[in-house]
C-alpha cells in the first residue's frame, strides 16, 4: 500500500527534520539579565533558544514608573545604560507576541557616588588617590610589607575581575533557566498528588451524600 | 502560546480570570469521582508535553495537545489545565500567576469547543453522516487556515523582513502538505473516520488557541494584525503535528479502549 503506516511515520519524522532547519524568534521564553558595573548597567535580552533580540528598544523606568531614559540593543542583544541616579532601575522591552522582558537593577547594586546615594566617604578617598599621582601605597601595616600598584595596573585588575564576574553572572542566569529532570518529575508528582487528594475528598464527599 | 506576566492589560486579565473560574466551577460540578484519574493523567500529559520542546525549529512550538484533552475530557479539561498551568508557572516560569486565567481560557476553551465539534464525529453511529460532515469541516478549516496564512503572508511582506517571509511560506506549505496527506490517508482508509475527526480536532484546537491568544493580545492594545501574524503563523507547524498525533492517538483509543472516550459526560 502506497500510504502505509510506515510512510505515515516517515512523513512525521521527515517533516520534523525539515522544520528543524529553520529557527525563528518566537521562542518560548524570554531570557534577560542585567549586570551593573560601576555606573554602567549592561544587559542582554534574548530567547531561550539562543536567538538574541536585535535592535530592540529598551525603556528604563524607576520604581515610581518615571521614565529615566531608553536605549537599544545591538546585534547581539546587548544594551548599555549609564545610570545617573541611585534608584531602582527597571528595564522593559516589548518583544511583541506576548513576550515582554522586565529587568530590575536595585539601587544598592549601583555605586554610592550617584545622585541620591550616600556620598559621605567617596570624595575623600578619591582625593587621596589623585594626590599621590596615581600611586596607592599601603604602608600602614605593622610588618611594613610594602604593596604598590600603579593606576593602570589597578584599572587592569578591576576590569579583569569585573569581566570574570560578568561571565559568572551570565552562567548563573543560564543555570537558573535550565529545566532539570527532577523539576519535571516533581511537577508530575504534584499533579498526581493533587488529583489523588481530590479523588479521595470527592469520593468521601459523594458517598456521605449518598448515605 | 503561554502569555507571560505583564503583557496584558488589567481588564483582559480580570476577564480571563473570571471566565476561567466560571469554567472550572462548572466543570467541577460535572466532575464525578471516577473521572479524576483520567483528568489527573491528562493534566500530567499536558504538563510534560508543553515542557519538552520538540526540536522543531520553531522552538516556541512545543506540543500543547489541547485537542486530545478536549476530546477525552470534555469540560473537565478546565481543572486539568488549571493545575498543569499553575505548576508550570510556579516551577518553570512558563506564563505566570496573574495570566493564569487568560492562559487557561486560551487553552481550555478551544479544548471544550473541539469536544463539542469532534466528539460527536468520533462516537457517531451513522458513519456516512460523520464522513460527510468531516469532509465539509475539513474543507472549511483547510480553506480558512490557508486564507489566514496567505493574508498574513502579505502582512509580512509589507513589513519587509525576508527571513520571516521564507519561514512563513515554508511552514504554510508544510501545513498544507500535512493536511492533504491526512485527508488522503483517510480516503484510503488507513485513517479511520474517528481518527480523521481526531486529526481535525487536534488541528482545530491549536488554530482556535492561536486566534484566542491573538485576540487577548489585541484587546490589550497590541495592534491585532501584528499580534495575530506572530502567533498564528508560529502555530502552523504545530497545527500539522498535533493533527497527526491526535489522529494516531484517537485511532488507537477507538480500537483498543473505546470506553475511554465513551465515558465522557
Q: How far apart are the first and last CA of chain A?
A: 59
B216: domain range? Answer: 10-262
Length of chain A: 211
The answer to whether residue B3 is domain-embedded is no
As to burial, measured by CB atoms within 10 angstroms (0-12 exposed, 13-18 middle, 19+ buried), residue B90 is: middle
**Chain A residues within an 8 Å CB radius of B234:** 24, 26, 97
DSSP annotation of A109: G
Q: Enter the ipTM.
A: 0.74
Q: CA neighbours within 13 Å on the CB side: how many for B194?
A: 20
Distance of CA A128 to the CA centre of its chain: 36
Mutation target among A29, A93, A98 for the B interface, most CBs of B within 10 A: A98
Predicted pLDDT of residue A123: 43
Query: What are A47-83's pLDDT values in tens digits?
Result: 665 566 777 777 888 877 788 788 877 777 778 888 7
- Cell for A138? 599601603
According to DSSP, the residues that pair with A83 across neighbouring strands are: none
CATH number of the domain where residue B177 is located: 1.10.1760.20
The answer to whether residue B2 is domain-embedded is no
Compare all CA atoms of chain B with the CA of A207 and give the residue at the minimum distance: B33
Q: How far is B161 from chain A (nearest CA, A)?
A: 12
Q: Does B222 touch chain A (CB under 8 A)?
A: yes
The answer to whether residue B42 is domain-embedded is yes
Question: Within 10 A of B32 (CB to CB), how many other CB atoms are there?
Answer: 12
Which of A162, A157, A156 shows the shortest CA–CA distance to A42? A162
The answer to whether residue B124 is domain-embedded is yes
Domains and CATH numbers, chain A: 30-109 (2.60.40.10), 122-177 (no CATH)
The answer to whether residue B48 is domain-embedded is yes
Mutation target among B29, B40, B95, B107 for the A interface, most CBs of A within 10 A: B40
d(CA A192, CA A208): 24
d(CA A63, CA A49): 31
**Chain A residues within an 8 Å CB radius of B230:** 26, 96-97
The answer to whether residue B118 is domain-embedded is yes
Query: What are B32-91's pLDDT values in tens digits?
Result: 888 888 899 999 999 988 776 655 443 356 788 999 999 999 899 999 999 999 998 888
Per-residue pLDDT of chain B (265 residues; tens, 9 = 90+): 677 777 788 888 999 999 999 999 999 888 888 888 889 999 999 998 877 665 544 335 678 899 999 999 989 999 999 999 999 888 877 778 888 999 999 999 999 999 998 888 888 778 888 888 888 889 998 888 888 777 776 655 544 445 555 666 777 888 888 889 999 999 888 888 888 999 999 999 999 998 888 888 888 776 666 666 667 777 888 888 889 999 999 999 988 888 888 765 4
Structural domains counted in chain B: 1
State residue B258 phi and psi, 5-degree precision. Answer: -65, -25
Q: Do A100 and B4 make contact, defined as CB atoms within 8 angstroms?
A: yes
User: What is this structure's pTM?
Assistant: 0.68
Calculate mean pLDDT across residues A126-135: 46
User: Which B positions 182-211 lie with beta carbon below 8 A of chain A?
Assistant: 184-185, 188, 190
Segment (H or E) for A137: strand A135-138
Q: Do A15 and B178 make contact, defined as CB atoms within 8 angstroms?
A: yes
- Cell for B150? 496567505
Amino acid at each position: 500500500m502506497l500510504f502505509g503506516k510506515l510512510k505515515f511515520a516517515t512523513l512525521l519524522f521527515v517533516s520534523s527534520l525539515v522544520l528543524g532547519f529553520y529557527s525563528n524568534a518566537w521562542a518560548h521564553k524570554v531570557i534577560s539579565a542585567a549586570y551593573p558595573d560601576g555606573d554602567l548597567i549592561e544587559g542582554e535580552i534574548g530567547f531561550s533558544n539562543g536567538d538574541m533580540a536585535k535592535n530592540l528598544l529598551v525603556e528604563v523606568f524607576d520604581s515610581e514608573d518615571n521614565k529615566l531614559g531608553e536605549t537599544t540593543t545591538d546585534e547581539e542583544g546587548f544594551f548599555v545604560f549609564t545610570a545617573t541616579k541611585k534608584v531602582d532601575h527597571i528595564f522593559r522591552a516589548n518583544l511583541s507576541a506576548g513576550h515582554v522582558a522586565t529587568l530590575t537593577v536595585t539601587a544598592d547594586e549601583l555605586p554610592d557616588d550617584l545622585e541620591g546615594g550616600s556620598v559621605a566617604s567617596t570624595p575623600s578617598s578619591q582625593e587621596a588617590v589623585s594626590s599621590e599621582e596615581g600611586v596607592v601605597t599601603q604602608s600602614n601595616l605593622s610588618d611594613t610589607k610594602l604593596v604598590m600598584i600603579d593606576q593602570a595596573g589597578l584599572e587592569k585588575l578591576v576590569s579583569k575581575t569585573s569581566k570574570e564576574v560578568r561571565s559568572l553572572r551570565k552562567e548563573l542566569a543560564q543555570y537558573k533557566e535550565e529545566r532539570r529532570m527532577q523539576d519535571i518529575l516533581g511537577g508530575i508528582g504534584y499533579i498526581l498528588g493533587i488529583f489523588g487528594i481530590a479523588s479521595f475528598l470527592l469520593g468521601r464527599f459523594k458517598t456521605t451524600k449518598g448515605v | 502560546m503561554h502569555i507571560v506576566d505583564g503583557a496584558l492589560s488589567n481588564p483582559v486579565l480580570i476577564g480571563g480570570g473570571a471566565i476561567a473560574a466560571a469554567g472550572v466551577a462548572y466543570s467541577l460540578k460535572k466532575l464525578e469521582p471516577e473521572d479524576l484519574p483520567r483528568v489527573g493523567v491528562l493534566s500530567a500529559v499536558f504538563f510534560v508535553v508543553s515542557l519538552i520542546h520538540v526540536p522543531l525549529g520553531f522552538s516556541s512550538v512545543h506540543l500543547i495537545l489541547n485537542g486530545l484533552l478536549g476530546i477525552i475530557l470534555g469540560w473537565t479539561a478546565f481543572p486539568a489545565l488549571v493545575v498543569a498551568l499553575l505548576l508550570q508557572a510556579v516551577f518553570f516560569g512558563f506564563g505566570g500567576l496573574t495570566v493564569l486565567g487568560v492562559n487557561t481560557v486560551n487553552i481550555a476553551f478551544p479544548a471544550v469547543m473541539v469536544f463539542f465539534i469532534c466528539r460527536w464525529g468520533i462516537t457517531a453511529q451513522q458513519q456516512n453522516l460523520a464522513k460527510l460532515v468531516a469532509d465539509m469541516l475539513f474543507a472549511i478549516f483547510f480553506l480558512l487556515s490557508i486564507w489566514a496564512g496567505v493574508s498574513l503572508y502579505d502582512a509580512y511582506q509589507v513589513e519587509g523582513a525576508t527571513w520571516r517571509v521564507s519561514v512563513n511560506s515554508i511552514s504554510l506549505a508544510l501545513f498544507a502538505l500535512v493536511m492533504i496527506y491526512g485527508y488522503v490517508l483517510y480516503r484510503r482508509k488507513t485513517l479511520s473516520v474517528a481518527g480523521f475527526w481526531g486529526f481535525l480536532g487536534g488541528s482545530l484546537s491549536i488554530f482556535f488557541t492561536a486566534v484566542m491568544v491573538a485576540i487577548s493580545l489585541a484587546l490589550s492594545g497590541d495592534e491585532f494584525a501584528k499580534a495575530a501574524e506572530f502567533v498564528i503563523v508560529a502555530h502552523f507547524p504545530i497545527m500539522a503535528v498535533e493533527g497527526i498525533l491526535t489522529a494516531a492517538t484517537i485511532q488507537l483509543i477507538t480500537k483498543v479502549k473505546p470506553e475511554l472516550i465513551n465515558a465522557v459526560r
